């Protein structure tokens, strides 16, 4: 069954898209110049129109009519990021309504309300057993309380809260998420809504650390952590979703969560938004913290439930839930991950030849750099295989399966701290993801979460060699 929930399509004229004077911009975080007029970003190649090339090296852009939508092609491709000045703390408080969904976490709620002193807060009690404690905490903090006698899940609670507020922006904040300096976080996130097509923005969510093994592991491997690079949400890109644990949203779009989803409702909502033409931005430079689950059983159930959410998502979004995508570089990645040097060399040569034909501006050296980068997809392929098959990969593939399993398991530590104590937790984390993915696929009766899909334009290293242009004038 496909649930056709529709979101309002983008109407930039309905927002204040006017830039005041010159617009500050920055190059996207992973943009690489490969040849005159050719750049790579997020696995795609772009051929830039002559008038557009100078925009990537600019600090400011003079917009001919003051309308930021003139830069839409570059912003949507991830090549250019508009930089807006954070609003004043008082202005942020006057613009934002905070909505905190909570169920049986009075201690977390008390801490969040303490961090949000002076803000307008709506607490949505989603069927807590001790409703009286939640009500007392909300009353003591001067927060508005919405009581749900029956738990509907976080998406329903957020939607209920969003319908009760009146300000332009809703800040969804889970009771167990610590923001520290709320004004600083809100001001920096709110600045992104200066782009009229940005519907929502989220910070990086990390574990706070602590003495327990789970806490130490969660600091560097939280399932809510999308990594150190900012970007736009793209189901097939480096940022496939952002968690709604801490999320700033335009109010007119904040109540559209699917009530049938208790897990993955934020992913579904974001993918429908992006399909409707909106943008959801991830700002990795803003960091909040979310603790590990209080017990091992709760920790395991969390991981399994996240994997199982792919089943219902597959019924709504199909191949977007696939574990990996087949494209021109897949054979090269398979050859590398299976340690077949001759095969890898052949595939690399064929890829370099295709690059030369597709984008003749690329010099042999640039083509070589792209081939090397494409071979790095072997790590992502091994990670996907481990998350899909888990320890069964060793049984099914024997020696080669063991090689892939070891590579895919250890790949999560290719950057960042390396602690021996994290290895068993990493294996358990991957195994829980495997169990959840297969369980979700079985419940949804869908093979989409289990089978690879053909790469779309976003995930193809060759990409669409399309000209990009903008009507904005380069800075004088």
Distance CA 470, CA 472 (A): 5
pLDDT tens-digit profile, the chain (476 residues) = 333 444 444 443 333 444 445 778 888 888 888 888 888 887 788 888 877 777 787 777 766 555 677 788 888 888 888 888 888 888 899 999 999 999 999 999 999 999 999 999 999 999 999 999 999 999 999 999 999 989 999 999 999 999 999 999 999 999 999 999 999 999 999 999 988 899 999 999 999 988 899 999 999 999 999 999 999 999 888 899 999 999 999 999 999 999 999 999 999 999 999 999 999 999 999 999 999 999 999 999 999 999 999 999 999 999 999 998 888 888 999 999 998 999 999 999 999 998 888 888 889 999 998 999 889 889 999 999 999 999 999 888 788 899 999 999 999 998 777 888 899 999 999 999 999 999 999 999 999 999 998 875 433 343 434 455 544 444 43
Residues 164 and 122 sit within 8 Å (Cβ to Cβ):
yes
End-to-end CA distance of the chain: 55
Distance CA 287, CA 203 (A): 6
Distance CA 241, CA 225 (A): 10
**Helices and strands in the chain: count of H runs, count of E runs:** 17, 17
| Domain boundary assignment for the chain | 15-84, 89-194+197-292, 325-454
Distance CA 311, CA 152 (A): 19
Cα within 13 Å of Cα(225), Cβ side: 19
Confidence at residue 67, expressed as pLDDT on a 0 to 100 scale? 67
Q: Tell me the Cα Rg of the chain.
A: 23
Handedness of CA 407, 410, 412, 418 (dihedral sign): negative
Angstrom CA distances, 95 to 14, 83, 164, 169, stand at 17, 19, 15, 6
CA-closest candidate to residue 226, choices 196, 247, 199, 257: 247
What would you measure as the largest C-alpha separation in the chain, in angstroms? 70
CB atoms within 10 A of CB 411: 17
CB atoms within 10 A of CB 432: 23
Confidence at residue 29, expressed as pLDDT on a 0 to 100 scale? 85
CA-closest candidate to residue 138, choices 124, 159, 153, 158: 124
Q: State the architecture of 89-194+197-292 in CATH terms.
A: Alpha-Beta Complex (3.90)
Token duo for residue 185: 């976080």
Angstrom CA distances, 245 to 99, 115, 291, 310, stand at 11, 16, 12, 18
Token duo for residue 156: 């329903």
Whether pTM exceeds 0.85: yes
């Amino acid at each position: 069954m496909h649930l056709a929930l529709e979101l309002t399509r983008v109407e930039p004229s309905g927002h204040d898209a006017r830039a005041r004077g010159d617009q500050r911009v920055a190059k996207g975080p992973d943009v690489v110049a490969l040849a005159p007029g050719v750049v790579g970003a997020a696995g795609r190649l772009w051929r830039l129109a002559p008038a557009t090339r100078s925009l990537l090296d600019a600090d400011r852009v003079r917009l001919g009519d003051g309308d930021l939508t003139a830069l839409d092609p570059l912003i949507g491709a991830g090549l250019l990021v508009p930089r807006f000045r954070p609003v004043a703390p008082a202005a942020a408080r006057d613009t934002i309504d905070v909505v905190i969904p909570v169920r049986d976490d009075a201690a977390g709620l008390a801490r969040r309300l303490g961090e949000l002193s002076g803000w307008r807060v709506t607490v949505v009690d989603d069927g807590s057993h001790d409703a009286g404690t939640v009500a007392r905490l909300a009353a003591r903090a001067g927060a508005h309380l919405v009581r749900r006698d029956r738990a509907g899940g976080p998406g329903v609670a957020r939607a209920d809260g969003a319908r009760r507020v009146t300000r332009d922006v809703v800040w969804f904040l889970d009771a167990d998420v610590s923001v520290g300096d709320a004004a600083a976080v809100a001001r920096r996130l709110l600045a992104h809504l200066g782009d009229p097509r940005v519907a929502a923005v989220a910070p990086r969510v990390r574990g706070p650390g602590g003495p327990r093994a789970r806490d130490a592991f969660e600091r560097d491997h939280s399932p809510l952590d999308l990594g150190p690079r900012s970007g736009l949400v793209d189901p097939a890109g480096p940022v496939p979703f952002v968690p709604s644990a801490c999320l700033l949203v335009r109010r007119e779009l904040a109540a559209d969560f699917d009530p049938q989803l208790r897990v993955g409702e934020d992913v579904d909502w974001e993918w429908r938004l992006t399909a409707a033409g909106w943008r959801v931005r991830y700002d990795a430079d803003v960091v909040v913290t979310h603790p590990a689950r209080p017990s091992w059983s709760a920790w395991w159930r969390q991981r399994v439930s996240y994997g199982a959410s792919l089943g219902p998502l597959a019924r709504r979004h199909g191949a977007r839930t696939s574990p990996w995508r087949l494209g021109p570089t897949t054979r090269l990645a398979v050859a590398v991950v299976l340690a077949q040097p001759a095969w890898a060399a052949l595939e690399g040569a064929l890829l370099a030849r295709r690059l030369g034909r597709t984008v003749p501006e690329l010099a042999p050296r640039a083509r070589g750099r792209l081939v090397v980068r494409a071979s790095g997809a072997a790590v992502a392929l091994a990670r996907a295989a481990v998350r899909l098959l888990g320890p069964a990969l060793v049984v099914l593939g024997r020696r080669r399966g063991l090689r892939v399993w070891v590579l895919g398991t250890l790949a999560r530590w290719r950057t960042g701290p390396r602690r021996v104590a994290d290895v068993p937790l990493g294996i358990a984390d991957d195994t829980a993801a495997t169990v959840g993915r297969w369980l979700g696929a079985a419940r949804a009766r869908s093979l989409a979460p289990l089978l690879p899909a053909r790469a779309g334009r976003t995930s193809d290293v060759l990409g669409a060699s399309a000209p990009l242009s903008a009507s904005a004038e380069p800075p004088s």
